[in-house]
A and B are shown apart, each in its own frame.
Chain A
Amino acid sequence: MGCHEVVQRALKAGRKLLPEHEAYGLCGEFGIPFAPARLAGNWEEARQAGEDLGFPLVLKIVSPEVVHKSDFGGVLVGITSPADLRKAYDRLLANVREKAGHVAVDGVLVQKAMPRGVEVAVGGLRDDVFGPMIMFGSGGILIEVFKDVSFRMAPFDEEEALRQIRDTKASELLAGVRGAPPCDLGTLARLIVNAGNLMCRVPELAELDFNPVLAYPDGCVVVDARMILSA
């Protein structure tokens, strides 16, 4: 299976963090929807990616040494034109140089900016006691402050994923607050189940974060994926 080769190659190269575009590749293999994105190794590739994907865009640094991208100015949003893209491209690399020093950089991930939705998080880990586990809850950068999360042992089915969603306060946001329409729980449950299958079938995956996952009335999409490997 493609995923094993990708993961093995990364491990052989001494990587703990799977490059985000490859993480998206794994998502694709497991039926997990993700934002369209291209890895750009230079400005020309970035410019072309911008043209292919269309605006608005998000730029993210891809480096084996930068796990928490936002902490290093490694995520830039609100790119609405080619001119913006040029400026953002340079600024991104400069930010990372300044805050993280001379780290190895695979490139810049040019990602389509998705419309605003309810931010949830789906996580995975391989626990010593329980084995593959999936976490679901309220997402965003404050996730570790609010801790509105629930756990399940993978693999499990959509009915269980729906119950897992209902364990959290996030379910109230998903039901629609202040006049907002409710989000589609079926596709979200399927995403959660597939994340569980991913953890179960790729033993080299030690931890994963999909945060945020944006939920909408008609679907959901992963807009940031972190996959930590271990041999």
Chain B
Amino acid sequence: METTARKSLDGLFNGRGVAIMGASAKKGKPGHSIVENLRAAGFTGNVYPVNAASESILGFQCYRSLEEITGRIDLVVMVLPADDCVEAARAIARRKDGKGDISAAVVVSAGFSELGTDQGRSREKALLDVLVPRGIRVVGPNCLGVMDTYSGVNTNFDIGAYRRGGLSIITQSGAFAVSYLKWAEPGRLVGLSKFVSLGNMSDVNVVELLGYLADDDRTSVIALYLEGTRQGRALVETAAHVSRKKPIVALKAGKTRIGSVAAASHTGSLAGRFEMYQGVFRQAGVVLAESVIEFYYTAAAFAKMPLPRGNSICVLTVLGGPGTLCVDELVSSGAVRLARLSEKTKSELRAILIPAANIGKPEGFIDTTPSFTEAQHREVLKIVLGDPAVSGVIYLTTPPLFMDEDALAENIIAAYESFAPEERKPLLSVIGFGSSVPRLRNRMEEAGMPTIEYPDIAAKVMINMVRYSRYKSRFDEH
């Protein structure tokens, strides 16, 4: 990404002075939560709540206006009634003209172009006309703004601190992305890097953010929730380049037909917006999830697991039912095949497992039966992961109550870590009993091993990894 473009977006995340216009002393109000969450996120820069009616909020001294703030302001958050925002923008402009600081503004407030009214649209235009010509990047309006778990910058009124990791989120629905983070939180499924809720996307847009995150060393995976953009071609071209470096996992909302009025051609009638996105995202190597849960788990898995170096998958299960559901889904995709285990692998497994175990019928499918101890898990996983014909493994279990969760976790993790990092393959674990085995899941997640509750979703995640890996390998230098 070109330097000035990159620097202008740096201002969203690197600020050391954050002013909140519309800060509130009243708990429960967004203007209060934003201050609270900025502190909770571990921000060590200067926090300047702008509120004429209060002396201090949460221990931070209040200011009646931007003018009174002597320290440097990098980022301004606007959480004011819509009618007051344009005037607030003028105050930002005066400050910028005078002091030369302020590089970005996050407009949390609603009441702009999203209303679909002339008034809303003109209010938004007035806001931009004041800020943009001065080189101030605007996020929103009508958004949750930005988070950076490494710098501590956080304008999100719904989330304070969040565990750090390599997943960055770009979203056109703040609420949807927050749902994801909150869903993932108890199980420690996701570590967050940067978060941008774009709102009305009046200035800072999805295309430039994708380019920005491609070059961000702290982002290893980009999760994108998209409702729509007019810059479709630019989006696809940018995504195609970004995908060469790191995966973009997307969820696209809005499947309704674009309704070409009496399309004269078959092509016109068949060209639904979603169908076109499916095609162009395939073309650009973007992983397009078909459901919310697939999106959630795919992004989380990409952030934790290495990519498969082929498409041969081994399904290792303790029970037939979920194992079969998993195989059904894998095979029906056409993108993946079941691995042909070597004779060596099979005979090593036969030596460990009970005679009733099914080893390789069909090829690549192993049903250990529940007679499978914690310690045997370690040996078996090592053997299977070590077979050169295996590109990835899906392991399924519903651990019986008598099994020691900690011992089981230890053995699985030890087996996985017995391989050097550059030799490791993706291992997805389907833990059927979900939250009733929290210690098992938490330990595995902490060790970077995704635990998924659904056999069919685990299959979809693996298929996504295989497809993305195939795209990426077209561009890897050999």
List the A side residues contacting B273 at CB < 8 Å. Answer: 129
List the B side residues contacting A123 at CB < 8 Å. Answer: 265-267, 270-271
> Are B229 and A144 in touch, CB under 8 angstroms?
no
Shortest Cβ distance from residue A226 to the other chain B in the assembled complex, whole angstroms: 6
List the B side residues contacting A16 at CB < 8 Å. Answer: 264
Chain B residues engaging chain A, CB cutoff 8 angstroms: 228-230, 232-233, 236, 258, 263-271, 273, 275-276, 278-280, 282-283
List the A side residues contacting B275 at CB < 8 Å. Answer: 149, 151
Shortest Cβ distance from residue A28 to the other chain B in the assembled complex, whole angstroms: 20
**A:60-93 near B, CB below 8 Å:** 67
List the A side residues contacting B279 at CB < 8 Å. Answer: 133, 150-153, 164, 167
Contact of B266 among A151, A156, A211 (CB under 8 A): A211
For A123, A133, A147, A151, the residue with the greatest tally of chain B CB atoms inside 10 Å of its CB is A151
List the A side residues contacting B258 at CB < 8 Å. Answer: 128
Contact of B271 among A67, A133, A153 (CB under 8 A): A133
Total number of A residues with any Cβ neighbor in B under 8 Å: 33
List the A side residues contacting B282 at CB < 8 Å. Answer: 150, 152, 163, 167
Residue of A nearest to B283 (CB): A152
List the B side residues contacting A124 at CB < 8 Å. Answer: 267
Shortest Cβ distance from residue B226 to the other chain A in the assembled complex, whole angstroms: 11
Task: Assess A127 versus B266: contact at CB under 8 Å? Given A151-B271, A153-B283, A163-B282.
Answer: no
> Are A127 and B232 in touch, CB under 8 angstroms?
yes
List the B side residues contacting A39 at CB < 8 Å. Answer: none
Contact of A125 among B232, B271, B280 (CB under 8 A): B271
26 A-B contact pairs sorted by A residue (CB < 8 Å): A123-B266, A123-B270, A125-B267, A125-B271, A128-B230, A129-B232, A130-B233, A130-B276, A133-B271, A149-B270, A149-B275, A151-B271, A151-B278, A151-B279, A152-B279, A152-B283, A153-B236, A156-B283, A163-B282, A164-B279, A207-B267, A207-B268, A209-B266, A209-B267, A211-B266, A228-B264
Extra A-B contacts (14), CB below 8 Å, given A151-B278, A163-B283: A125-B265, A131-B232, A133-B271, A135-B267, A135-B271, A151-B271, A152-B279, A152-B280, A152-B282, A152-B283, A153-B280, A153-B283, A209-B267, A228-B268
For B232, B266, B268, B283, the residue with the greatest tally of chain A CB atoms inside 10 Å of its CB is B266
Interface of B is mostly: helix
Residue of B nearest to A136 (CB): B279
**Is A98 among interface residues, defined by CB-CB distance under 8 A?**
no
Shortest Cβ distance from residue B299 to the other chain A in the assembled complex, whole angstroms: 23
Residue of A nearest to B280 (CB): A153
CB-based closest 3 A-B pairs: A123-B267, A151-B279, A129-B232
**Is A52 among interface residues, defined by CB-CB distance under 8 A?**
no
A198 CA / B275 CA spacing, docked (Å): 22
List the B side residues contacting A208 at CB < 8 Å. Answer: 265, 267
List the B side residues contacting A118 at CB < 8 Å. Answer: none
**Is A121 among interface residues, defined by CB-CB distance under 8 A?**
yes
**Is A17 among interface residues, defined by CB-CB distance under 8 A?**
yes
**Is A143 among interface residues, defined by CB-CB distance under 8 A?**
yes
* Cβ proximity bits A1-31 to B, threshold 8 Å, 1 near / 0 not: 0000000000000001100000000000000
> Are B236 and A207 in touch, CB under 8 angstroms?
no
> Are A160 and B266 in touch, CB under 8 angstroms?
no
Shortest Cβ distance from residue A36 to the other chain B in the assembled complex, whole angstroms: 24
A123 CA / B258 CA spacing, docked (Å): 17
A127 CA / B266 CA spacing, docked (Å): 14
Residue of A nearest to B275 (CB): A151
Shortest Cβ distance from residue B311 to the other chain A in the assembled complex, whole angstroms: 13
A156 CA / B263 CA spacing, docked (Å): 25
A228 CA / B268 CA spacing, docked (Å): 10
> Are A127 and B263 in touch, CB under 8 angstroms?
no
List the B side residues contacting A207 at CB < 8 Å. Answer: 263-265, 267-268
A167 CA / B264 CA spacing, docked (Å): 25
List the B side residues contacting A160 at CB < 8 Å. Answer: 283
A108 CA / B443 CA spacing, docked (Å): 75
Residue of A nearest to B270 (CB): A149
List the B side residues contacting A127 at CB < 8 Å. Answer: 232, 271, 276
> Are B280 and A143 in touch, CB under 8 angstroms?
no
> Are B280 and A130 in touch, CB under 8 angstroms?
yes
Residue of A nearest to B232 (CB): A129
List the B side residues contacting A135 at CB < 8 Å. Answer: 267, 270-271
**A:201-225 near B, CB below 8 Å:** 207-209, 211
List the A side residues contacting B278 at CB < 8 Å. Answer: 150-151
Shortest Cβ distance from residue B232 to the other chain A in the assembled complex, whole angstroms: 3
Contact of B270 among A130, A131, A144, A153 (CB under 8 A): A144
List the A side residues contacting B264 at CB < 8 Å. Answer: 16-17, 67, 207, 226, 228
Shortest Cβ distance from residue B464 to the other chain A in the assembled complex, whole angstroms: 15
A125 CA / B258 CA spacing, docked (Å): 13
Task: Assess A133 versus B276: contact at CB under 8 Å? Given A123-B270, A167-B282.
Answer: yes
A164 CA / B275 CA spacing, docked (Å): 13
Shortest Cβ distance from residue B143 to the other chain A in the assembled complex, whole angstroms: 22
Shortest Cβ distance from residue A123 to the other chain B in the assembled complex, whole angstroms: 3
Residue of B nearest to A227 (CB): B265
> Are B233 and A228 in touch, CB under 8 angstroms?
no
* Cβ proximity bits A156-173 to B, threshold 8 Å, 1 near / 0 not: 100010011001000000
> Are B232 and A130 in touch, CB under 8 angstroms?
yes
Task: Assess A129 versus B267: contact at CB under 8 Å? Given A152-B279, A153-B283, A167-B279.
Answer: no
Shortest Cβ distance from residue A121 to the other chain B in the assembled complex, whole angstroms: 7
> Are A151 and B280 in touch, CB under 8 angstroms?
yes
List the B side residues contacting A128 at CB < 8 Å. Answer: 230, 258
> Are A129 and B265 in touch, CB under 8 angstroms?
no
List the A side residues contacting B271 at CB < 8 Å. Answer: 123, 125, 127, 133, 135, 151
Shortest Cβ distance from residue A175 to the other chain B in the assembled complex, whole angstroms: 12
For A207, A208, A226, the residue with the greatest tally of chain B CB atoms inside 10 Å of its CB is A207
Shortest Cβ distance from residue B200 to the other chain A in the assembled complex, whole angstroms: 17
